[in-house]
Structure 1
Amino acid sequence: MPRILGVDIPNNKKLAYSLRYIYGIGPKRADIILEQTGLDPDMRAKDLDEEQINVIMSKISELSYLVEGDLRRDHAANMKRLQAINCYRGLRHRRGLPVRGQRTKTNARTRKGKTASVGGLRK
């Protein structure tokens, strides 16, 4: 299993898809990286040699993409900043509710979690 930037990318997937396992690299960035390195997007990740892996890593750093730990730290700092200034988005993050204007009367289970039953009397 090739290891790029501390992430094991899957062997059996095409290179264009396996690069997406790196946090911060999506479809568009994966295509850009492969186009600029000259690697075949249909090539399997298990067929990469050390030189090609180094070329991919150097291209990611050359394009100055924030990936993995740096991006996660940046994202966490942004959330912490929003919470510290007590803005609406920060309050929604703090309470674990949807941040971007979605309804919460119904259909917010992903953010709110499992339903908590409110005590009712049974006869």
Structure 2
Amino acid sequence: MSTQEYRHIVRIVGNDIPGERKMLVGLTQIKGIGYNFATAILDTLKIDSNSNIGHLSEENVQAIEKLISNPIEGNFPAWFLNRRKDIETGTNLHLLTSDIPFTLRNDIERERITASWRGYRHLSGLKVRGQRTRTSGRKGGAVGVAKGGMAAPAKKSSDAPAAAAAPAAETSPAAAAAPATEKAPAEKKE
């Protein structure tokens, strides 16, 4: 426990965390930090994981932010990070907050552009990682035959111009624009 005053909201890496949360739960509210990563951070910095996050001193908050932003300097192994051997930079990274969905969208778009098999599967909305699709994975987009109803029979090409001209001559634009509810009382005579 620190001698500093209790804070009701602690801001860590751009996230507002309520002060009454325990350390482990509060750190896992940051997107990209799970239970194991939060435990490793607290063990490395020798912070009690059962205390409330509102009791953190400003120095502890800065130490946590420094370790979260660059876990390799904190001697975390490469397998502990969530993005190893980044394709663009070739380095091991740990992505946080809005970087995660942004990087995921870029990866999927790159696979589509290169026309890889994974890109085709993403494009079609099918399973990507080799799962079976014969019986499972049926939620989502329709893949098979489209659900149909009564379709109008196709007309011959020679009948099409004559049939299109006949209805236009029978009805005037004003009659075509009038709704059906207005015609009903006019037809009724006593």
TM-score class normalised by the smaller sequence: 0.7 to 0.9
Query: CA separation in 2, counterparts of 1:87 and 1:58?
Result: 38
Q: Does 1:108 align with 2:116?
A: no
Q: Does 1:24 align with 2:29?
A: no
Q: Does 1:39 align with 2:68?
A: no
Query: CA separation in 1, counterparts of 2:45 and 2:31?
Result: 20
Measured at CA, do residues 28 and 113 of structure 1 come closer, stay the same or move farther in structure 2, by a change above 3 Å?
farther
Q: Does 1:93 align with 2:104?
A: no
Measured at CA, do residues 97 and 61 of structure 1 come closer, stay the same or move farther in structure 2, by a change above 3 Å?
same
- 1:62: how far off? 3.2
- 1:10: how far off? 4.2
Percent of pairs with identical residues: 36
Q: Does 1:61 align with 2:69?
A: yes
Query: CA separation in 2, counterparts of 1:79 and 1:51?
Result: 39
TM-score normalized by structure 1? 0.74
TM-superposition CA deviations, 1:19-74 (whole Å, max 9, x none): 12222211221111111111111122233233322121011123153222334333
| Structure 2, unaligned runs of 5 or more | 1-8, 73-93, 151-190
User: Rg larger in 1 or in 2?
Assistant: 2
Query: CA separation in 2, counterparts of 1:39 and 1:70?
Result: 27
Please report the RMSD computed on the Cα atoms of aligned residues, expressed in angstroms: 2.7
User: Counterpart in 2 of 1:81?
Assistant: 110
**Counterpart secondary structure, 1:74:** helix
Between the two structures, name the one with larger relative contact order (CA 8 Å, sep ≥ 6). Answer: 1
Q: Structure 1 stretches (4+) deviating beyond 6 angstroms?
A: none
Farther off after superposition, 32-41 or 59-68: 59-68
How many residues align? The count is 118
User: Counterpart in 2 of 1:8?
Assistant: 16
TM-score normalized by structure 2? 0.52
**Which residue identity is paired with 1:88?**
W
